[in-house]
Amino acid sequence: MKASEDFRWHHADGAALLSALKSDPRTGLQAPEVVRRLAAQGPNRLTPRRGRSPLMLFLSQFHHPLIYILLVSAAVTGPLKGWVDAGVILGVVLVNAVIGFIQEMNALRAIAALANVLNVNATVLRDGLRMVVPASGLVPGDIVHLQSGDKVPADLRLLAVRELQIDESMLTGESVPVEKTTSPLPPDTPLADRTNLAFSSTLVSYGTGTGLVVATGDRTEIGRINRMIAEARELETPLTRKIGQFSWILMWFILALAGIAFAVGGWRGENLVETFVASVALAVAAIPEGLPVAVTITLAIGVARMARRNAIIRKLPAVETLGGTSIICSDKTGTLTQNQMTVQAILAGGQRYAVSGAGYAPAGAFRRDDRLVEAATQPALLEILRAGLLCNDARLYRDGNAWLIEGDPTEAALLVSAHKGGLHREPAQDSHPRLDAIPFESVHQFMATLHHNRAEDARHVYLKGSVESLLGRCESAFDEALRPVPLDVEAIQRTVAELAGQGLRVLAFARGDHAAGEALHHDHVSTGLTFLGLQAMIDPPRPEAIQAVADCRRAGIRVKMITGDHIGTAVAIARQIGLTDPDEPLHALDGRALAELPERAWPATAEKTSVFARVAPEQKLRLVTALQARGHVVAMTGDGVNDAPALRQANIGVAMGITGTEVAKEAAAMVLTDDNFASIAAAVEEGRGVYDNLIKFITWTIPTNIGEGLVILLSILLGIALPILPVQILWLNMSTAVLLGLPLAFEAREADIMQRRPRHPDQPILSRTLIFRSVLVALLLTAGAFLEFEWELAHGEPIAKARTAAMNLFAVGEAFYLLNCRSLRHSMFKIGLFSNPWVWAGIAAMLLAEAVIIYLPAMNWLFQTQPLGWPEWLLAIGCGLLVYLVVGTEKLLRLWLSRPRRRQGGG
């Protein structure tokens, strides 16, 4: 039998595998055979994927239509004596290229992080001797020994286990350690349920075991994930895609206008050199040089705002992508829940108790029939709490304001419930010292401890375990006063079914009397026990996550749970956090059902299903891809290595900062510092605000470029002198973009931003309304500039002064239009006149810059300007005020006309 990643190792018998791989469990492989197999199979490490060289990655950043426009702009700026401006433009190009290069390199580090995962040692049996070797030297057929604290060095088929538990959360998403077995399993057993396998890079949390190496390196489960990360294509964000489309259109539009202008000038018999210069001026006028700077700075401001809300952005475009998110696929454990098992219900003495409080903080109370009760007054309740406290190997301790645990989360939950009842570990151990114990074994499904009750001078055995394992050992039960009563098995099973239906994990407890002597054996607890009751626990949802899910649903964003936990638990948590309305059906599927799903059914099934449980890594990736095929912008959360391919495939991958592996963080575009779903909702809100501000900037800058282009085009068509020179246009574009446009990046989020529906991925950057507004403002600015230019010439002013007046009118008009663009729907008075002081600071700086270029002699010589008088300033202010009033009236009319439709739509 040859080691193969497609072979179902979990289904094969251990003895048959040993024979097939020619391995002896008593001596292991011989040294020469190890050398031969290592040469044939290769080292036990992940093969790094070859990609483009760093140089090619860097050069590819210049392959973008917006960059072409900037390079053309720089090329025509230099010859026109604008070497400083050309240098600034080339600097913008270089900065954008560096940022893009860093983004791609960060994405590729996910694979490099995986390659380092296997750099551990392994205890292996070779030549009849136990030895420690580097994990990279393991080969199929090696016999490996595992113990608590080890990292599993390769994929192993377990041959022998002793209370072996392995934490596989980084691979499967399972929230509790998996109890391992050795028996063959059915062929279709899902990855998370293959209990007779130990997977490479998972952690041994308890017990010992021996396993046969069946897969190494790229053939392991983690190796398959490595390939999926390499193959998952990183998608363009909606912003980069739309900016790209917009830039292509703009580039061809500019070239067409320049070509038409040159052709018309030639047809009219104008000087070809002057016509060419005018055509170049037209191209320069239409190029929005400040757009890349504005995009980068607006995104950077969004990054800073998100960081204050516990979301660290690793890739700038992810800021905007969040704003367009339509579906969030979230992990359950630690993201939607607290990742702290909590006892929520207890059955003791025939009575049901509800337990308040959440997490490991021992703060809470007990209710019986909706009334608060003291545990000290409830003997049966107190006894089951004592059983959970004493039959326990976990430790609960306080570190500052945080409560932490050592050991199994389930046992920690029992310690917390005992603390809530007034029982504490040290006093309980003093009054009931442990004499002996039967540790938990998966074959028996219980743990037992023997204690000396010093107050009664008696010996008691306390047991905890599965309901099935303990009920058959019990002959009686206790009533609420700890008096023996007959055991009602049917009533207990009904309660268990009810609690399990709520997604709770149920543990049973029993007590037995023990004769003199300190040894405890299985036959001592096989019969004659007294049933103490049940404790039911769950990893409860975060209260803030419940609110965040509600906020997302109001914003039109659907939340789906993708978890490695059992489907019953997942559904219970999904209902508690409100993934759907209480009266709506909650569709849930597990990994086994997904495996049987036809390929064509994946998109529709992914769309309608809210909960996916026990999913394999490749299924997470397919779910993300299926949702994207339905046109969704998908955000995917994750913390384990198993999540990395889906994180990279998603439009926005979100990794957990506390519990997340380095592989997940490297594959993600955003990292949550608090592992809290509520931070995702906050980041979505910030992302919408960032996109809003970008649209505001584009809406503001486009009329300027259109207007300047129209001024040049009309002057060529009319055969008159240029009202504005190219060098003046460059000054105008760069100075206004920085001083007037960038303050829009600091606009606060509008109040109704989370009541809007998600943007459709195919929605253009500018709506018809904004296109109409842009053309309207461009025409107003163009008309004003021509009138100002002709008015100056008609009054005998030199052409330099007329051009200066036309340029100044554009600057002042843009300042007034900026006030309209602070909100695309409302007036600046509604959003707050001084809510963004940067706007007013920018206007003041722009006026100062205009004064410098108009009145400073050196600037007059450089830009061919002349000082202006008050009449020119008043005309510019009048034109700007007209722009503000026209656009304000247009917004008011649209708002008034939309009101009846909104009322009708609301029903």
- Among all residues, which ones are annotated catalytic? 331
- Identify the CA nearest to 615 among candidates 232, 165, 155, 173: 173
- Per-residue exposure over 579-603, b if at least 16 CB sit within 10 Å of its own CB, e if not: bbeeeeeebbbbbbebeeeeeeebb
Residue 429, φ and ψ in degrees, nearest 5: -70, -30
880: its two tokens: 């700007």
Locate tokens 């992810």: which residue? 318
| Helices 272-286 + 677-718 axis angle, to 10 | 160
Tell which phi-psi region holds residue 322, choosing left (phi > 0), alpha (psi between -120 and 50) or beta: alpha
651, HSE (Cβ side, Cα atoms, 13 Å): 27
Residue whose pair of structure tokens reads 């390499």 in the numeric block: 230
Strand partners for 535: 346, 507
Angle made by CA atoms 616, 617, 622, in degrees to the nearest 5: 95
480: left (phi over 0), alpha (psi -120 to 50) or beta: alpha
| C-alpha–C-alpha distance, residues 674 and 676, integer Å | 5
CA 647 to chain centre: 8
| Distance (Å, whole) CA 69 – CA 254 | 9
State the chain's maximal CA–CA distance in angstroms. 122
Q: How many residues does the chain have?
A: 907
Please, which residues have CB within 8 angstroms of residue 419's CB and are 6 or more apart in sequence?
Answer: 362, 396
Q: Could you tell me which residues come within 8 angstroms of residue 401 by beta carbon, excluding any fewer than 6 positions away?
A: none
Give the sign of the dihedral formed by CA 701, CA 702, CA 707, CA 713: positive
Contacts of range 658-667, beta carbons closer than 8 Å, 24 or more positions apart: 658/334, 659/334, 659/339, 661/170, 662/113, 663/110, 663/113, 663/114, 663/117, 663/229, 664/638, 664/639, 664/640, 665/314, 666/106, 666/107, 666/109, 666/110, 666/112, 666/113, 667/107, 667/110, 667/229, 667/643
- How many angstroms separate the CA atoms of 333 and 539, rounded? 8
Pairing outcome for strands 155-167 and 178-179? antiparallel
Q: Is 442 exposed, middle or buried (0-12, 13-18, 19+ CB in 10 A)?
A: middle
Q: What is the DSSP letter of 135?
A: G
SS3 737: helix
Name the strands in the sheet holding 634-638, side by side, starting at the edge strand that comes first in the sequence: 311-313, 670-672, 652-656, 634-638, 327-330, 558-563, 611-613, 588-590
Whole-number Å distance between alpha carbons of 36 and 19? 18
Bridge partners (DSSP) of residue 635 are 328, 652
